[in-house]
Amino acid sequence: MVQAAVMGYGVVGSGVVEVLTEHRDSIAKRTKEEIGIKYILDIRDFPDSPFHDKFTKSFDDILLDDEVRVVAEVMGGVHPAYEFTKQCLEHGKSVVTSNKELVATKGAELLRIAKENNVNYLFEASVGGGIPIIRPLSQCLAANDVIEVAGILNGTTNFILTKMIRENMSFEDALAMAQQLGYAERNPAADVEGHDAGRKISILASLVYGKHVYPEYVHTQGITRITLQDVAYAASWGGVIKLIGQVKRLEDQTLDITVEPMLIEKSSQLANVDDVFNGILVRGDSTGDVVFYGKGAGKLPTASAVVADIMDCVKHLKKRKYLDWVDGDASLVKPYTQTVYASYLRVESQLDKQKIIAAVSDVFSDVREIVRANSDDQELAFVTGDMVVADQEKAVAAIEATGIHVLSKIRIADF
Amino acid sequence: MVQAAVMGYGVVGSGVVEVLTEHRDSIAKRTKEEIGIKYILDIRDFPDSPFHDKFTKSFDDILLDDEVRVVAEVMGGVHPAYEFTKQCLEHGKSVVTSNKELVATKGAELLRIAKENNVNYLFEASVGGGIPIIRPLSQCLAANDVIEVAGILNGTTNFILTKMIRENMSFEDALAMAQQLGYAERNPAADVEGHDAGRKISILASLVYGKHVYPEYVHTQGITRITLQDVAYAASWGGVIKLIGQVKRLEDQTLDITVEPMLIEKSSQLANVDDVFNGILVRGDSTGDVVFYGKGAGKLPTASAVVADIMDCVKHLKKRKYLDWVDGDASLVKPYTQTVYASYLRVESQLDKQKIIAAVSDVFSDVREIVRANSDDQELAFVTGDMVVADQEKAVAAIEATGIHVLSKIRIADF
């Protein structure tokens, strides 16, 4: 019997306890060891829980109990999760987590401490909920150079965009519905501003490229400015707008890493990833495109990923898994303004249509107009060719100077 | 430096040598060990190969060299791959393979021998080519009861069906094109009759349910009888026809395991898996649906999966991976005639249309007609409700007795 502890009895934590309890026999069979839950740490009281005798409010109960070999940190947030994780690792306990904020912020340091203490720090559940992505990326695709990772990494924003695309619902109405259904928090900023997706792509990039790419290096833009007009133009163009977290290594070895809305073609394998689902495309030099798809969040999917990590720790109590990256700095990342991509533009002006087209074509390359039914008066939309972002910004300024208002500019995906 | 040997220098074998050579540095970095290729076994001569000094025609060179710790068996076929694999395992060498025929036929025995000798027998590349599926299934989804696995497991037949669906090409023309492009063998039986997919679902079922489900227990039907009429009716119904390998555990704990063409709804996540791509849906009780998607075959995707297994063996030279199933027998599987599903029917008759509808409704449940543009004279199509297969067969006989010819009967998928 190996003893585990669960820190945090919220949605994921109670799910972890539920999965460990309900699947006790099949887990023991596969792990060749029974896994017990010795403590559940939470500051709240749960007198009616069937597990009430396991609750503690004292972290030291866990830390100082040598029987506890694996700890699931499912508290969320950086503090005190960071301090608790660090101390557990230093005391020779493996830690598994779904806490993407902590992994994205302190991953390199915690992995180093785990290594020094010959224990594991695993975080399959931090990206993609129940979709196995960390382990396939680090192991199964090991004999590959990963060229690019691009994913729909946040279920809430994907739900909102799906409602906008399929039901012509406004952003505000779709957000309200997501909140009503419990998909979005009352304060939805972390989701709709792209920060949640930013943490996840930062974890994936660190894993793939072996150096910690901190979230603050990631150009992050949410979906709050996407309108139904943009959605309609995207459809006319033959695609959809999705919030994409992506990273690719450029020729000079720096990373183009961003979270932003993108136009993706209907034929892309990410175009049909709808509702609260996540999809992650991994482009390898040998494997070609592999896509991982599934529910990106939710109590049981996430909990089952945490439990799979607990099982992996139990199987590797004396051996470290090769999950590793070293510290990194801002020089890893190409400044956003120096990256290159094609854009979609929506503009508005009192000017004559031909003059607008001429003005846009004058400063952007390969300009092609997109037409949609029932378009607003004085509104035009275009797709343009590849261009350095700084030049795109200058081009936008030049257009604006002629009395054309640029309402939207959205990146066009290359996958 | 850990020494490996490659048995078989065909498409996959030469790919393995290529990946091991070209990614030597990044592999050494990730494995913490350099991996050398000491021997390549092939009966043919490759005097111009840059690896000519590594070739041998003698299996004993590999078997008796204690330096060789890992052997990649990429010869294909059961004999002599089986004997070679067995001897390598007995001599304490780990073996990795892409040989789905061997794993499907002898997996339980070879896994047992590997266990007895404290070495590994890994076969990520045997299903789904470069798509990681064996490892996620066995590890990442470990804390889950897998309810169902359903996949498009054969790229050749998927290519053919895609041509039929998208370009209205006949089966024969699409097959000829697949042969021309090198996707299909000159003798295409293993693909188009479903045997290749049968081996793969047999491997996945054995892994998920822990007992060897031999291919001869799997009801296997290919795509040779699918017509463009069926494809058109499927489109009218709102779906596509795909060759699906699927397994699910029934309430009485037996397995419904088949390879057969199925009608799947457009909204299913497998409906958009086109061309030579594979897609595998894993339905877990906690994770919900997770889909793995990518190129199911090809030199480099498959080779990179083999190399990932070699790396895993090198990392676990002294520790076994928990990849394991025991022997099984036919009682594991529900006889096909006792399984239950809904069907699509296409019939032809000189009878009056209302009489045909009455005759079909008389013996099938929940009958609904499907209409398509430009249908053939005297042709009608229906979807029916769930029914035991034996009863469906009786119903077909009863209809035929009234002078109605049943041209097609295809299972309707439940995912």
3-state SS, chain A, equals CEEEEEECCCHHHHHHHHHHHHCHHHHHHHHCCCEEEEEEECCCCCCCCCCHHHEECCHHHHHCCCCEEEEEECCCCCCCHHHHHHHHHHCCCEEEECCHHHHHHHHHHHHHHHHHCCCCEECHHHCCCCCCCHHHHHHHCCCCCEEEEEEECCHHHHHHHHHHHHHCCCHHHHHHHHHHCCCCCCCCHHHHCCHHHHHHHHHHHHHHHCECCCHHHCEECCCCCCCHHHHHHHHHHCEEEEEEEEEEECCCCCEEEEEEEEEEECCCCCCCCCCCEEEEEEEECCCEEEEEEEECCCHHHHHHHHHHHHHHHHHCCCCCCCCCCECCCHHHECCHHHCEEEEEEEEECCCCHHHHHHHHHHHCCCCEEECCCCCCCCEEEEECCCEEHHHHHHHHHHHHHCCCEEEEEEEECCC
Q: Can you tell me whether residue B214 is helix, strand or coil? A: coil
Amino acid at A4: A
User: Region B284-296: what's the mean pLDDT?
Assistant: 85
Pairwise CA distance, residues A153 & A244, whole Å: 7
- Answer whether A140's CB lies under 8 Å from B301's CB: no
Q: Do A27 and B293 touch (CB under 8 A)?
A: no
Give the mean pLDDT of chain B.
94
Which among B139, B291, B295 has the least Cβ separation from residue A287?
B295
For A146-182, how does the pLDDT look when each residue is reduced to its tens digit (9 = 90+)? Answer: 999 999 999 999 999 999 999 999 999 999 999 999 8
Which of residues B384 and A376 earns the better pLDDT score?
Answer: B384
Q: Go through the domains of chain A in sequence order and give each one's CATH number.
A: 2-130+299-327 (3.40.50.720), 134-295 (3.30.360.10), 338-412 (3.30.70.980)
Q: What is the pTM of this model?
A: 0.86
Q: Can you tell me whether residue B147 is helix, strand or coil? A: strand
Collect all residues of chain B within an 8 Å Cβ-Cβ radius of residue A308: 139-144
Cα-based torsion angle of the residue sequence A276, A265, A259, A278 in order, rounded to the nearest 10 degrees: 20
The angle at the Cα of B280, spanning A280 to B247, to the nearest 5 degrees, equals 150
ipTM reported for the complex, 2 dp: 0.75
Collect all residues of chain A within an 8 Å Cβ-Cβ radius of residue B20: 143
What residues 170-209 of chain A have any CB closer than 8 A to a CB of chain B?
A: none
Residue B322 has a pLDDT of 66
Q: Which residues on adjacent β-strands are paired with residue B121?
A: B95
**Banded pLDDT at B377 (limits 50, 70, 90):** confident
Element (H, E) at B89: helix B81-90
Q: Is A141 in the B-facing interface, judged by CB distances under 8 Å? A: yes
Residue B29 has a pLDDT of 87
- Which whole-number Å values give the CA distances from B259 to B149, B192, B196, B228, B244, in the listed order? 12, 11, 10, 20, 6
* Whether the predicted pLDDT of B140 surpasses 70: no
Pairwise CA distance, residues B130 & A193, whole Å: 35
Which among A130, A286, A319 has the least Cβ separation from residue B290?
A130
Q: Do B308 and A142 touch (CB under 8 A)?
A: yes
- Answer whether B308's CB lies under 8 Å from B26's CB: no
For an interface test with B, the pick among A35, A139, A415 (most B C-beta atoms closer than 10 Å) comes out as: A139
φ, ψ of residue A261 to 5 degrees: the values are: -65, 145
> Could you tell me the strand order of the sheet in which B2-7 lies?
B55-56, B35-41, B2-7, B68-73, B94-97, B121-122
* Whether the predicted pLDDT of B237 surpasses 70: yes
Nearest CA in chain A to B144: A304
* CB under 8 A, 24+ apart: contacts of A45-51: A46/A9, A51/A17
Pairwise CA distance, residues B4 & B33, whole Å: 12
Share of chain A above pLDDT 90, in %: 83
Q: Is B117 in the A-facing interface, judged by CB distances under 8 Å? A: no
What residues 266-325 of chain B have any CB closer than 8 A to a CB of chain A?
A: 269, 272, 284-295, 298, 300-301, 303-305, 307-308, 310-312, 315, 319, 322
- Which whole-number Å values give the CA distances from A52 to A8, A40, A291, in the listed order? 14, 9, 41
Q: How many CB pairs under 8 A join A and B?
A: 170
Interior/surface letters A26-51, b for 16+ CB within 10 angstroms, e for the rest: ebbebbeeebebbbbbbeeeeeeeeb
- Strand ranges inside B133-284, DSSP E: 146-152, 219-220, 239-249, 255-265, 277-284
In chain B the first and final C-alpha atoms are separated, in Å, by 47
- Answer whether A60's CB lies under 8 Å from A274's CB: no
* Whether the predicted pLDDT of B245 surpasses 70: yes
Which among B26, B142, B292 has the least Cβ separation from residue A292?
B292
Pairwise CA distance, residues A45 & B410, whole Å: 56
For an interface test with A, the pick among B17, B277, B287 (most A C-beta atoms closer than 10 Å) comes out as: B287
Residue A160 has a pLDDT of 97
User: Region A374-402: what's the mean pLDDT?
Assistant: 95
Q: Which residues on adjacent β-strands are paired with residue A337?
A: none
A80: preceding bond cis by omega (within 30 degrees):
yes
Interior/surface letters A185-199, b for 16+ CB within 10 angstroms, e for the rest: eeebebbbbbbbbbb
Which of residues B45 and A323 earns the better pLDDT score?
Answer: B45
Residue whose C-alpha is closest to residue A40's, from A63, A24, A64, A57: A57
- Find the length of chain A: 415
Q: Do B145 and A23 touch (CB under 8 A)?
A: yes
Collect all residues of chain B within an 8 Å Cβ-Cβ radius of residue A135: 135-136, 139-140
- Answer whether B258's CB lies under 8 Å from B202's CB: no
Which of residues B29 and B120 earns the better pLDDT score?
Answer: B120
Instruction: Report CA B324 to chain centroid distance, whole Å.
Output: 19
Strands B219-220 and A405-412: unpaired
Share of chain B above pLDDT 70, in %: 100
**Banded pLDDT at B90 (limits 50, 70, 90):** very high
For B311-343, how does the pLDDT look when each residue is reduced to its tens digit (9 = 90+)? Answer: 999 988 877 776 889 999 999 999 999 999 999
Q: Do B132 and A136 touch (CB under 8 A)?
A: yes
**Banded pLDDT at A140 (limits 50, 70, 90):** low
Collect all residues of chain A within an 8 Å Cβ-Cβ radius of residue B298: 288
Collect all residues of chain B within an 8 Å Cβ-Cβ radius of residue A26: 145
User: Region B256-267: what's the mean pLDDT?
Assistant: 96
Nearest CA in chain B to A303: B286
User: Region B44-59: what's the mean pLDDT?
Assistant: 95
Give the mean pLDDT of chain A.
94
- Which whole-number Å values give the CA distances from B62 to A323, A374, B2, B33, B171, in the listed order? 32, 72, 14, 20, 45
Pairwise CA distance, residues B129 & B276, whole Å: 11
Which among B135, B287, B312 has the least Cβ separation from residue A294?
B287
Pairwise CA distance, residues B342 & B389, whole Å: 9
Radius of gyration of chain B (CA): 23
| Catalytic residue IDs of A | 200
Which among A27, A131, A143 has the least Cβ separation from residue B290?
A131
Pairwise CA distance, residues B70 & B30, whole Å: 17
Q: Do B322 and A30 touch (CB under 8 A)?
A: yes
Residue A322 has a pLDDT of 66
HSE-CB of A144 using CA atoms within 13 angstroms: 33
What residues 13-32 of chain A have any CB closer than 8 A to a CB of chain B?
A: 19-20, 23, 26-27, 30-32
The pair of structure tokens assigned to B1 is 């430096």
| Catalytic residue IDs of B | 200
Collect all residues of chain B within an 8 Å Cβ-Cβ radius of residue A295: 287-290
Q: Do A287 and B135 touch (CB under 8 A)?
A: no
